[in-house]
Amino acid sequence: MKMNKIACGLVLSLCAIAAVPVFADSVGVPTVPSSGPSAPGPAASANDPIIGLPADTGIGNCFPFSCAYSGLYQQVYTSSQFSGPMTITGLEFFNTSFNSDATAMNSGNWAVSLSTTSADWNILSSTFASNLGADNTLVFSGNLAQPWAFGDTLVIGLTTPFTYNPSNGNLLMTVDATGTSIVDGNIFFDTNGAYQTNSIMSRVFLYSGTGEEIALIDPGYGLVTGFTEQTSVPEPSSLLLLGSGLLGLAGVLRRRVVA
């Protein structure tokens, strides 16, 4: 009788496993790929790298996601800041150092690409195209407009995950902002390198203060950036093997009980 109960328990466990939906290769990716706050990015775990901590105190920068910034923007992250290969499914930018009392993100369209590059924090070029890697991939395009309060995090869930291997080079983020406008204030995101330049990141951006748009480089300075990594889950084949094993074990126990 006891062996019968064990066999029944194993079969019930198999049924429970079969009832769990499988989302292999989709963890961290928006369920319905779209743009803006309706497609929130995946929640970061304690192991997801954040490049640029600690952030500069009492200061921040609004390019390229606020101040109605329009045009290209690139930021490179030195490969030594990553512990190993990762599949990036989300980006995060923080607003914890400077409170501008903004209540909404700018509106517009932001096309974000990632690539592996030989450019580094001290050799980034003012010619945007020359910084791009051969694997340059558009990972997000859409409007990021959303309500805002000081302390919020801008989370960008990638519609196309990007696999990055630091042994192949540094990581380059390219942002192309178009049609941008201020909704209710500007947000100054956390930075690193304002008081003392670092050796982990650099950026190149467009400056129009002289009436003529030129590309300027900020070596050793950039936005503090969080990278959300895809979490591995059991593949359907693994679940089938587990289920087959449980069925086989249940059969053996049943034969022993009959005997």
More confident residue, 45 or 101: 101
pLDDT at residue 17, rounded to an integer: 39
The answer to whether residues 182 and 126 belong to one domain is yes
Q: What is the mean pLDDT of the chain?
A: 81
CATH number of 167's domain = 2.60.120
Contact by Cβ (8 Å): 42, 157: yes
Indicate the number of domains in the chain.
2
The answer to whether residues 184 and 102 belong to one domain is yes
Contact by Cβ (8 Å): 87, 229: yes
Residues 235-252: what's their mean pLDDT?
A: 52
Q: How confident is the model at residue 37 (pLDDT cuts 50, 70, 90)?
A: very low
39-67 per-position pLDDT tens digit = 333 455 657 999 999 999 999 999 999 99
The answer to whether residues 243 and 225 belong to one domain is no
78 contacts: CB under 8 Å, gap ≥ 6 = 120, 121, 170, 199, 200, 201
Q: How confident is the model at residue 27 (pLDDT cuts 50, 70, 90)?
A: very low
pLDDT at residue 252, rounded to an integer: 46
What predicted TM-score, i.e. pTM, was given to this entire model? 0.74
Residue 121: which of 39, 218, 5 has the closest Cα? Answer: 218
DSSP state letters, 204-226: EEEE-TTSS-EEEEEET-EE-EE
The answer to whether residues 78 and 99 belong to one domain is yes
User: Is residue 164 domain-resident?
Assistant: yes
User: Is residue 27 domain-resident?
Assistant: no
The answer to whether residues 16 and 121 belong to one domain is no
Q: How confident is the model at residue 33 (pLDDT cuts 50, 70, 90)?
A: very low
pLDDT at 5 over 50: no
pLDDT at 36 over 60: no
User: Is residue 28 domain-resident?
Assistant: no
Amino acid at site 241? L
Residue 18, exposed/middle/buried by CB under 10 A (0-12, 13-18, 19+)?
exposed
**Domain range holding 175?**
36-229
The answer to whether residues 247 and 136 belong to one domain is no
User: Is residue 29 domain-resident?
Assistant: no
The answer to whether residues 12 and 78 belong to one domain is no
User: Is residue 211 domain-resident?
Assistant: yes
Q: How confident is the model at residue 14 (pLDDT cuts 50, 70, 90)?
A: very low
Least confident among 17-26, 145-154, 189-198, 203-212: 17-26
103-130 per-position pLDDT tens digit = 999 999 999 999 999 999 999 999 999 9
User: Is residue 31 domain-resident?
Assistant: no
User: Is residue 86 domain-resident?
Assistant: yes
Residue for token digits 């390019």? 63
The answer to whether residues 46 and 136 belong to one domain is yes
pLDDT at residue 212, rounded to an integer: 72
User: Is residue 98 domain-resident?
Assistant: yes
More confident residue, 234 or 87: 87
The answer to whether residues 60 and 129 belong to one domain is yes
The answer to whether residues 202 and 136 belong to one domain is yes
The answer to whether residues 67 and 113 belong to one domain is yes
Sign of CA dihedral 100, 106, 112, 118: negative
The answer to whether residues 102 and 155 belong to one domain is yes
pLDDT at residue 63, rounded to an integer: 97
pLDDT at residue 144, rounded to an integer: 97
